[in-house]
Amino acid sequence: MKLLLDTDSAAEAEAVAAWGVLAGIRTSRAGLAAAGAADSDAEIVRLCDLLDATVTVLLDGPDAATLTAQGLALADLHEHAVAALPFGPAGLAAASALEEQELAVEVTHVFSAAQALLAAEAGAALVSTSLTRLEQAAIDAGETLQAMVESLHTGETTAQVLAGGIVSPQQVVLAARLGAENAAVPAGVLHRMAEHPLTLAARDDASAR
Residue 68: predicted pLDDT: 98
How remote is the C-alpha of 52 from its chain's centroid? Answer: 16
Which residues, 6 or more positions from 82, have their beta carbon under 8 angstroms from its beta carbon? 54, 55, 56, 57, 74, 103, 104, 105, 106, 125, 126
Contact 138, 117 (CB under 8 A): no
Give the model's confidence band at 204: pLDDT under 50 very low, under 70 low, under 90 confident, else very high: confident
Distance CA(136)–CA(30), nearest Å, equals 23
Q: What is the pTM of this model?
A: 0.93
Give the model's confidence band at 52: pLDDT under 50 very low, under 70 low, under 90 confident, else very high: confident
Residue 208: predicted pLDDT: 74
* Domains of the chain, earliest start first: 2-208 (3.20.20.70)
| Whether residue 149 has pLDDT greater than 90 | yes
Contact 98, 66 (CB under 8 A): no
Quick one: which of 144, 83, 153 has its CA closest to 120? 153
Query: Max Cα separation, the chain?
Result: 65
Which residues, 6 or more positions from 73, have their beta carbon under 8 angstroms from its beta carbon? none
